[in-house]
Chains A and B, each alone.
Chain A
Amino acid sequence: NAGVTQTPKFQVLKTGQSMTLQCAQDMNHEYMSWYRQDPGMGLRLIHYSVGAGITDQGEVPNGYNVSRSTTEDFPLRLLSAAPSQTSVYFCASSPRSGGTDTQYFGPGTRLTVL
Chain B
Amino acid sequence: GENVEQHPSTLSVQEGDSAVIKCTYSDSASNYFPWYKQELGKRPQLIIDIRSNVGEKKDQRIAVTLNKTAKHFSLHITETQPEDSAVYFCAAAGGGGSNYKLTFGKGTLLTVNP
Contact stretch, chosen from B63-71, B73-81, B100-108: B100-108
Q: Which residues of B contact A62 (CB under 8 A)?
A: none
Kindly provide the distance from the CB of B16 to the nearest chain A CB, expressed in whole angstroms: 29
- In chain A, positions 90-114 with a C-beta closer than 8 Å to chain B are 90, 94, 101-103, 105-108
Kindly provide the distance from the CB of A74 to the nearest chain B CB, expressed in whole angstroms: 12
- Identify A105's interface contact among B44, B49, B93, CB under 8 A: B44
Compute how far the CA of A25 lies from the CA of B105 in the bound complex, rounded to whole angstroms. Answer: 26
Compute how far the CA of A105 lies from the CA of B89 in the bound complex, rounded to whole angstroms. Answer: 14
Contact stretch, chosen from A41-49, A65-73, A78-86: A41-49
What is the interface residue range for chain B against chain A? 20 to 34
Q: Which residues of B contact A101 (CB under 8 A)?
A: 32, 34, 49, 93, 99-100
What string of 1s and 0s marks CB contacts (under 8 Å) between B92-114 and chain A? 01000001111111110000000
Kindly provide the distance from the CB of B93 to the nearest chain A CB, expressed in whole angstroms: 7
A58 contacts the other chain (Cβ, under 8 Å)?
yes
Q: Which residues of A contact B99 (CB under 8 A)?
A: 94, 101
Q: Are A90 and B44 in contact (CB under 8 A)?
A: yes
Kindly provide the distance from the CB of B4 to the nearest chain A CB, expressed in whole angstroms: 8
Compute how far the CA of A41 lies from the CA of B105 in the bound complex, rounded to whole angstroms. Answer: 8
- Identify B104's interface contact among A42, A48, A50, A102, CB under 8 A: A42
What is the interface residue range for chain A against chain B? 20 to 34
Compute how far the CA of A102 lies from the CA of B103 in the bound complex, rounded to whole angstroms. Answer: 14
Kindly provide the distance from the CB of A88 to the nearest chain B CB, expressed in whole angstroms: 9
Q: Are A33 and B101 in contact (CB under 8 A)?
A: yes
Q: Are A33 and B44 in contact (CB under 8 A)?
A: no
Q: Are A41 and B106 in contact (CB under 8 A)?
A: yes
Cβ-closest 4 pairs across A and B: A42-B104, A31-B100, A101-B99, A105-B43
Given A33-B101, A43-B104: 13 more A-B contacts, CB < 8 Å: A33-B102, A42-B6, A43-B44, A45-B102, A48-B101, A94-B99, A101-B32, A101-B49, A101-B93, A101-B99, A102-B34, A107-B43, A108-B43
- Which chain A residues have a beta carbon within 8 Å of chain B's beta carbons? 31, 33, 35, 40-45, 48, 50, 58-59, 90, 94, 101-103, 105-108
